[in-house]
Structure 1
Amino acid sequence: MTSTQPFLREPDAVLGLLNSRRDAAGVLRRCVLCLLPACVIVFAGFQRRWMSDDGHIYVRTVRQILAGNGPVFNAGERAESSTGTLWQWLLVLAGLPGIDIARAAMYGGLLLTAAGFALASLGALRLYADKAVLPLGCLVLLALPPVWDFATSGLETGLATCWIAGAWLLLVTRARSLATCVIIGLGPLVRPDLALVTAVFLVAQWLTVQPSRRAAFGGLGAALALPVAYEIFRVGYYGQLMPLPGVTKEASESLWRRGFGYLADFGEPYLLWVPALFLLAALLPSAASAASAASAAPADRRDAPPLIPVLAPVVAGLLCWGYVIKVGGDFMHGRMFLPGLLLMLLPVFLVPLTRAWTIAAVGIGIWAVACASWLRIPYEGQIGPGGVADERGVYVRQNAAPHPLHHDFAGYPSNVDYARLVREADREGTPALFLARTPAGTNSPTVTGVYNTLGFSGTVVPLSGVALDPIGLAYPLAAHSERIEGSRVGHDKRLPDTWIFADRGHGPLPEGLDPAGVAAARRALDCGALAELRAATRDPLTPKRFLRNVAGAWERTTFRFPNDPVLAERQLCGAQ
């Protein structure tokens, strides 16, 4: 017997070695599938790296925090200009050791986007267990120029990509810990509208895990703890229920027609109906197979992917798109549709190697090559006829630089002139108020700049100065003014100079301003809801002021006043 043992063990050893090599090859193949989409988006994003003007809005707020002035855009006025709360504080952490904040925002967004693509790939591999897979949904994302553009830009898009993919991976792996609930609950802090994703994913997690009642309430508490705590801080500190850009852009209104125009602006140039048709054609046999597997033996059911992690991101993505369309879209081409598109493509980011999916992958691959190579919007480098802009192209052209980071606007004389006027006033120690790009000497204690391009203005105006925008992204008075019908999306508020001078100006009136209008505006500013709005954002933050801000947050957030100072005075002051 002993003489035959080596002979018997040798085939087992050979089989074990072959199996281990096959396992190693499988692990290597899966690693490549995880990392390849991430590497491609890093390459594409790096080639089109840039910093948007809205990204520089974050930068000024971060600089104010690091300077000890609090999370504000202008010292002395509590206004929340950062839509992505978590992104703002991540940039604060990046700035603590002295890293250039704009550079951290640009490259940090790229790294987070890549991490999101890797997490999405890993989630798809887990979803389809040990099956061989091939790329599909990732090809759609990697082919679209807006995805390349907003992989950087300094905005929170990269963080949103990473959070969405990471939260979905936790759903796929059926993670049960309270930490999972905390991560899923971060959506409103990534962007307020991603609260929709948080709600859908929490329901999906509850259906998947089926916890006890006590565990369910514990998980819900863990998920809501940070968002609720920050919302209490927000209403007490800023006196608003949402970040100021949400007030400015009237995030609760319904502008369906303009929203569908924004959808057409995104879908038509890239022929997005082509990959959609291939996806539908492949989903039909896959859905039939899933239905037959559901009625088959339990052993066969294990081959089908779990239904809840497949449906949850699709439902969340459709809700995100529906919300974007409802509020009228955005002024940046494609940007607001990217989170929803990622969500809807997560279940097919990678797909099983079947005949139907292979045909779809080939068709989408051909479209992806054509899209990446030739399909472009007709207004590259400009603002389109509908008011939607090729945002990166505009800033490349205006800065006369292929990768604008710290904007000098060398190709845009008006901005160059504005920066020169601000710097001269600051250097000479002469306070100045700029109305419609026209300086006028005042006795104001600091330099005050009024300009539409807020991120740029916040860069050139010193932190001790005041950078105001008549659109209202960081200026509460402008944010609560009436919307101007028919104006450009995202720019449909324009606080008249009369109000700005009445609020901030001193000394002789600049040429062109109506003295009666300025007098009426100054009286209105001391009446009713306008007086309360100014007190909520400018009075010292005592405990009493904090509680008063909390109590009046709803009325303050929904308050709007007429652009006509005389009409506003009549409404707010009445018989006074």
Structure 2
Amino acid sequence: MTSHELIPESRHRQLDEGADRSWAGRRGGRRAREAAIVGGPALVAMYMGYRQRWVGDDGLIYSRTVRQLLAGHGPVFNLGERAEASTGTLWQWLIAGAAYLCGRDPSVVAVTLGILLTGAGYIAVMAAARSAVRPLSAAPLLPLGILILLPVKADWDYASSGLENGLSTGWIGCSWWLLVRARPPAAGSARSRRPGGYAAAFVIGLGPLVRPDLALVGAVFLGALWWLLRPPPGRTLLMLGAAAGLPAAYEVFRAGYYGVLVPLPALTKEASQAVWSRGFAYFGNFAGPYWLWVPLTLLAALAVLVPRRTALRPELLAPPVAGLLSWLYVCRVGGDFMHGRLLVPGLLLLVMPLCAVPLSRPVIAVAGALAAWAVCCALLWRPVASSGNPYLILDEQRDYVGYTGDPHPITEATHGRRRKPLRPALRAAEEAGRPVLLMQIPGGRNGFASLPLAHRFGARTAASYDLLGYNGVVTPLADASVDPLGLAYPLAAHQARTARRTAGRSGHEKPLDPAWIIADYTDPGAALPPGLDPARVRAARHALTCGPLAELQSSVRAPLTPSRFLRNALGAWTRTVFRYPDDPVEAERTLCRR
């Protein structure tokens, strides 16, 4: 008789059930640990984003466009002028859809969406990293890469802010997760072959609609997707169609509706020109305060130890390549005036493949050093409030908390009631009983000069003020919020940027001569404020009626008939590259030759 036969049947059942429970317990424990590793960083990022929640003036620019959309006026900043003030096209429409559904302040909606999308992006990154590395190693996987991103204050700040950074993080994470999932199964694998990568191509192709500069990241990811799948020519064309279909359709709409090929801020900031010195200063302002060269050097040394067959896997190679190219592009165009905002996506891309590193002795040593750096970065190291001259770079979150007196300035009401100069001038204009153009003039009443606004605009007030988001909040939707810096004013955006204008704040190098605004918004013969040269105003009036400048004005202000849409679309390239001299006298001489 065998030992097995000596055990009663009931005891067999008890042993089998115990083994099943033990196996289920171990499996459940593994799942819990996996969920903690994948979801833990997302919870930390969302908590820190919520803790730092705020909206800056640039975030309020989106709010006005969204309110115009919800009011049925179309994707414009001002009635009667088709200007695309939103850099993040998809972000604008997401806020509009969510605000329509919940009926909340668009800036509050933007903060909420930004934090949630940041968390979703982190989850996708961690899940993709583990999926990409697990088939290559049975060792425990440590999330070293994420230790570099989580302690950086700029990452916390731009999880909200009202800007599209949260969407950028979510798009990058989702795109990479789909790229990793697109790898065909190994030969002999029991896993069924996945579809041909069309979903991945579609999502990756949305990059230009998230932010125009993310087209570079999308191109690298699409190249990696093709490398992974090696599809035949027919499928390659279908995948390109999936990637380019929606962006191409929106580009046709943009060309016909706005008359140019890029959002207006890209023209204002001259995103095709190089300002390397300012870009390197911007990078130093980001890397210096956090001592980023320390963790990046450690991870670079660790990456050298990665086996060649692993390093050349396209899904692991694409993110750092895209991150380096993103940083290079940001430096080339001169960076930004907001500390770290344009560099955080590149840092995320650089560290993504190292968010799941197989455990080894060198990895343990690097992990200890990274942990020490992360503690110091999170608790001690902060960027300066302002970098000073020649390039002004600000810790914007700290700046807006300070001037509003609110630790979490996220509503339009908070911003509207705190900054005083424009509101009294608007009230005085309403009391004037006639349409008024308000302009900032030293010595004017409440700091503004009041001029008679031309009746052709159909508005009570046109207010020119250099804080566009605030101006858009306090100026009614039916009135004109005039942007002398060009983010929402085509006339200012198409000025030529000269070498003398590359210092100061990035993106603020095209202040429009007041003569142009007066010429555009008043009738001939209007009384001028003291100090303004009537000859320059006359020159500006004449230039506005000449050649390509007159056509530019018509492209955004003429009624949008089918023929106007077609004319806009056909001339979009010419208008996109058109620039005119900022000096009215020189512009008249150049544009109005006879």
What is the TM-score with the length of structure 1 in the denominator?
0.93
Partner of 1:213: 233
Alignment of 1:166-181 (within 5 A): 166-174=174-182, 176-181=196-201
Deviation track 1:250-298 (CA, whole Å, cap 9, x = no partner) reads 000011111111111111111111101211232222x2xx13xx4xxxx
Partner of 1:386: 391
**C-alpha distance 439-360 of structure 1, shift in aligned 2 (>3 A):** same
Superposition deviation, residue 551 in structure 1: 1.4
Superposition deviation, residue 379 in structure 1: 2.6
Superposition deviation, residue 12 in structure 1: 5.7
Q: Is the Cα contact below 8 Å between 1:116 and 1:165 reproduced in 2?
A: yes
Partner of 1:299: none
Query: In the alignment, which of 62, 65, 70 is matched to residue 66 of structure 1?
Result: 70
Partner of 1:137: 145
**How many Å separate the matches in 2 of 1:429 and 1:66?**
29
Identity %: 46
Partner of 2:342: 336
**How many Å separate the matches in 1 of 2:80 and 2:201?**
37
Give the SS at the match of 1:467.
strand
Q: Which deviates more, 103-112 or 476-485?
A: 476-485
Aligned: 1:534 with 2:538: no
Aligned: 1:477 with 2:481: no
Partner of 2:187: none
**How many Å separate the matches in 1 of 2:43 and 2:430?**
45
**How many Å separate the matches in 2 of 1:360 and 1:383?**
36
Give the SS at the match of 2:150.
helix
Q: Which deviates more, 468-477 or 506-515?
A: 506-515
Query: In the alignment, which of 356, 367, 375 is matched to residue 361 of structure 1?
Result: 367
Deviation track 1:483-510 (CA, whole Å, cap 9, x = no partner) reads 2424322111111000000011243222
Give the SS at the match of 1:268.
helix
Partner of 2:88: 84
Alignment of 1:39-50 (within 5 A): 39-50=43-54
Query: In the alignment, which of 520, 525, 532 is matched to residue 513 of structure 1?
Result: 532
Q: Is the Cα contact below 8 Å between 1:181 and 1:202 reproduced in 2?
A: yes
**How many Å separate the matches in 2 of 1:151 and 1:410?**
19
Q: Is the Cα contact below 8 Å between 1:468 and 1:475 reproduced in 2?
A: yes
The one-letter amino acid paired with 2:508 is: H
Deviation track 1:100-136 (CA, whole Å, cap 9, x = no partner) reads 2110001110111111111111111212226422221
Partner of 1:499: 516
Q: Is the Cα contact below 8 Å between 1:127 and 1:306 reproduced in 2?
A: no
The one-letter amino acid paired with 1:498 is: A
Partner of 2:475: 461
Superposition deviation, residue 13 in structure 1: 5.2
Superposition deviation, residue 383 in structure 1: 5.9
The one-letter amino acid paired with 1:186 is: L
**How many Å separate the matches in 1 of 2:453 and 2:374?**
59
Aligned: 1:235 with 2:255: yes
Aligned pairs, number: 559
**How many Å separate the matches in 1 of 2:431 and 2:438?**
16
The one-letter amino acid paired with 1:159 is: L
Deviation track 1:36-66 (CA, whole Å, cap 9, x = no partner) reads 1011111111111100111110000011111
Alignment of 1:339-488 (within 5 A): 339-379=345-385, 386-406=391-411, 415-426=419-430, 429-436=433-440, 437-444=447-454, 445-484=459-498, 485=500, 486-488=502-504
Superposition deviation, residue 3 in structure 1: 3.9
Q: Is the Cα contact below 8 Å between 1:45 and 1:110 reproduced in 2?
A: yes
**How many Å separate the matches in 2 of 1:459 and 1:173?**
44
Give the SS at the match of 2:477.
coil
**How many Å separate the matches in 1 of 2:384 and 2:243?**
43
Q: Is the Cα contact below 8 Å between 1:53 and 1:453 reproduced in 2?
A: yes
Partner of 2:303: 283
Q: Is the Cα contact below 8 Å between 2:130 and 2:355 reproduced in 1?
A: no
Partner of 2:581: 562
**How many Å separate the matches in 2 of 1:283 and 1:163?**
25
**How many Å separate the matches in 2 of 1:561 and 1:411?**
34
**C-alpha distance 480-396 of structure 1, shift in aligned 2 (>3 A):** same
Query: In the alignment, which of 153, 162, 174 is matched to residue 154 of structure 1?
Result: 162
Superposition deviation, residue 177 in structure 1: 4.0
Superposition deviation, residue 353 in structure 1: 2.1
The one-letter amino acid paired with 1:249 is: K
**How many Å separate the matches in 2 of 1:363 and 1:385?**
35
Give the SS at the match of 2:481.
strand
Partner of 2:571: 552
Q: Is the Cα contact below 8 Å between 2:416 and 2:470 reproduced in 1?
A: no
**How many Å separate the matches in 1 of 2:279 and 2:392?**
12
Q: Which deviates more, 417-426 or 361-370?
A: 417-426
Deviation track 1:352-407 (CA, whole Å, cap 9, x = no partner) reads 22222222121111101101111122336x86762111111111112121111235
Q: Which deviates more, 210-219 or 1-10?
A: 1-10
**How many Å separate the matches in 2 of 1:457 and 1:203?**
43
The one-letter amino acid paired with 2:243 is: A
The one-letter amino acid paired with 2:303 is: L
**How many Å separate the matches in 2 of 1:431 and 1:336?**
40
**How many Å separate the matches in 1 of 2:336 and 2:453?**
39
Give the SS at the match of 1:335.
coil
Q: Is the Cα contact below 8 Å between 2:453 and 2:462 reproduced in 1?
A: no
**C-alpha distance 216-139 of structure 1, shift in aligned 2 (>3 A):** same
Structure 1 runs not aligned, ≥5 long: 295-303
Aligned: 1:127 with 2:143: no
Deviation track 1:8-59 (CA, whole Å, cap 9, x = no partner) reads 7776655443332222111110100111101111111111110011111000
Give the SS at the match of 1:440.
strand
The one-letter amino acid paired with 1:27 is: R
Aligned-residue CA RMSD (Å) = 2.1
**How many Å separate the matches in 1 of 2:139 and 2:563?**
61
The one-letter amino acid paired with 2:488 is: A
Deviation track 1:195-233 (CA, whole Å, cap 9, x = no partner) reads 111111111111112222222211110111000000011
**How many Å separate the matches in 2 of 1:358 and 1:46?**
32
Q: Is the Cα contact below 8 Å between 2:68 and 2:75 reproduced in 1?
A: yes
Partner of 2:293: 273
Structure 2 runs not aligned, ≥5 long: 183-193, 441-446
Q: Is the Cα contact below 8 Å between 1:236 and 1:547 reproduced in 2?
A: yes
Q: Which deviates more, 60-69 or 384-393?
A: 384-393
**How many Å separate the matches in 2 of 1:418 and 1:80?**
24
